[in-house]
Amino acid sequence: MNIVILAAGMGKRMRSRLPKVLQPLADKPMLEHVIEKARLLGSNNRLIVVIGHGAEAVKAYFEKDEDITFALQAEQLGTGHALLQALPYCDQSEPTLVLLGDVPLIRPETLKNLVQAAGSGVGLLTVRLDNPRGYGRIVRQDGAVCAIVEEKDATDEQRAINEVNTGIMVLPTRYLERWLNELGNENAQGEYYLTDVIARAVSEAVAVNSATAQTATEVEGVNNKVQLAALERAYQKDNALRLMNDGVTLIDPDRIDVRGELVCGKDVTIDVGCIFSGKVVLGDGVRVGAYCVLKDVEIGEETEILPFCHFDGAQVGKEARLGPYSRLRPGTTLADQTHIGNFVEIKKSVVGLGSKVNHLSYIGDTDMGARVNIGAGTITCNYDGVNKFRTTILDDAFIGSDTQLVAPVTVGKGATLGAGTTLTKNAPDGELTIARARQMTIKGWKRPTKNK
Ligand code: UD1
Ligand code: CA
């Protein structure tokens, strides 16, 4: 079939410079959610997106998606006019499913039901809402749909109807050329309404079948930031329920945000206020403390993350202990049983088995072996203002506190660096290397006193 997504509207009510359909829900444009749902209906459908307001930005965002055909609606004259712009790209012998770029949470199962209900006629997806305000109302006679009336054009009696148009419908494509070209715009908004084709179908005795959506959230349209936030919460709550049903312990399902994919093993516990984005994989028994932000990370079994950590692009082994207040930046790999403590930043580095960086340190561009102990306040000086250099720390090295390792430099196997060392040359295996002024005591020295 043809799947046409209407996404040309400007979304005045968003009061934003960003086109409405690019407004993000869970970190992803609403339109991308809709496109993903459309793709789940099968790969041999034609996917056409009608763009207009902010067309360049929308096109640029989906530049790499070769399965999308864009139809331009230069002037936004209404949903009927929008569909007309897509018609040249549609296969006349197949039905056309119309989706809206601002109805992001629609479920593929619901769409499949609708397509089935439509048969060779029109299929209309409706829903009953406690508060139908803003939506087109479904007008029925003796149970059969006879028209859709927009809120702004409705009589008081029609406004009381609580069955509404979700905007999602299946249409027999062969009639559209005629139906859409003959739409009028004599209505409250001066627009060519797609919804008017329903009365037209009825008048031509083309069957109009309806299907209902199971939940209100999946057909909720987003016209302003309030609705966007409400839908975001609904989406997050759904995610949270799914995680809990899979056995994840969420201390509070109302205080977790998954903006991407979160894959959890058995007996994972997540405390409040955590945000997961990109793809995050948590192994069996992982515990995530409160207020952690994790993006594109993989955490091994039984690792514990204490509160307030920020990880991005890192891989962590088993039984590690991280945080509180640790930062892992892209290109970081921590082996099993590592300990990373408070106010430690690690970037593009490998930390070997059982090594510890417990306090106030910066480790960048470093290859660290196993069982290394890094004292508090250690800094790898990896940057001379132009180039970056690597630091190598071999197995069992012990780095005293407040040490600077001026890269490129290597600390040998089992080497010890005295506290306060500024290391500019390699430190040999097994020896104590120290670079600091010798301590002395001046005997009999007196503090100055004030002259009275
Ligand atoms: C529309 C329906 C209404 C339905 C509601 C469901 C019409 C006339 N009304 O109203 O019955 O209850 O959706 O959410 O169809 N668009 C274009 N070009 C245009 C106008 C709109 O591409 O010229 C796109 C918008 O980007 C949007 C979608 O169509 O994605 C719906 O447009 P919108 O203006 O939000 O319609 P509603 O007033 O919500
Ligand atoms: Ca809308």
Domain boundaries, the chain: 2-219, 248-433
Nearest atom of ligand 1 to the alpha carbon of 81: 23
123/322 Cα distance (integer angstroms)? 54
Residue nearest to atom 11 of ligand 1 (CA): 136
The answer, yes or no, to whether any atom of ligand 1 lies below 6 A from the CB of 82, is: yes
How many whole angstroms from 218 Cα to the centroid of ligand 2? 13
The answer, yes or no, to whether any atom of ligand 1 lies below 6 A from the CB of 357, is: no
The answer, yes or no, to whether any atom of ligand 1 lies below 6 A from the CB of 136, is: yes
pLDDT score of 58 = 97
Give CA 113 to chain center in angstroms: 28
For a mutational test of ligand 1's pocket, the pick from 25, 98, 100, 186, i.e. the residue with the most ligand atoms closer than 8 A to its C-beta, is 100
DSSP state of 247: T
Q: Are strands 163-171 and 96-100 parallel, antiparallel or unpaired?
A: antiparallel
The answer, yes or no, to whether any atom of ligand 1 lies below 6 A from the CB of 8, is: yes
220/197 Cα distance (integer angstroms)? 22
Residue nearest to atom 19 of ligand 1 (CA): 78
How many whole angstroms from 79 Cα to the centroid of ligand 1? 6
> CB-side exposure of 59: number of CA atoms within 13 Å?
12
Neighbours of 346 (CB within 10 A): 28
338/355 Cα distance (integer angstroms)? 5
Using an 8 Å Cβ cutoff, are 89 and 192 in contact?
no
304/297 Cα distance (integer angstroms)? 14
Residue nearest to atom 16 of ligand 1 (CA): 9
The answer, yes or no, to whether any atom of ligand 1 lies below 6 A from the CB of 150, is: yes
Residue nearest to atom 33 of ligand 1 (CA): 9
Q: Could you say which residues of the chain have pLDDT below 70?
A: none
Give the domain 2-219 fold.
Answer: Spore Coat Polysaccharide Biosynthesis Protein SpsA; Chain A (3.90.550)
How many whole angstroms from 435 Cα to the centroid of ligand 1? 71
The answer, yes or no, to whether any atom of ligand 1 lies below 6 A from the CB of 391, is: no
Fold match flag (2-219 vs 248-433): no
Catalytic residue among 53, 81, 310, 359: 359
pLDDT score of 10 = 84
pLDDT score of 452 = 85
Q: Give the closest ligand to the alpha carbon of residue 8.
A: 1
Closest among 350, 285, 353, 286 to 323, alpha carbons compared: 286
Q: Which CATH class is domain 248-433?
A: mainly beta
Asked about 359 being catalytic, the answer comes back as yes
Q: Model confidence over 110-148: pLDDT tens digits? A: 999 999 999 999 999 999 999 999 999 999 999 999 999
Token pair for 5 = 């997504």
The answer, yes or no, to whether any atom of ligand 1 lies below 6 A from the CB of 19, is: no
The answer, yes or no, to whether any atom of ligand 1 lies below 6 A from the CB of 78, is: yes
Using an 8 Å Cβ cutoff, are 198 and 150 in contact?
no
How many whole angstroms from 101 Cα to the centroid of ligand 2? 8
pLDDT score of 363 = 98
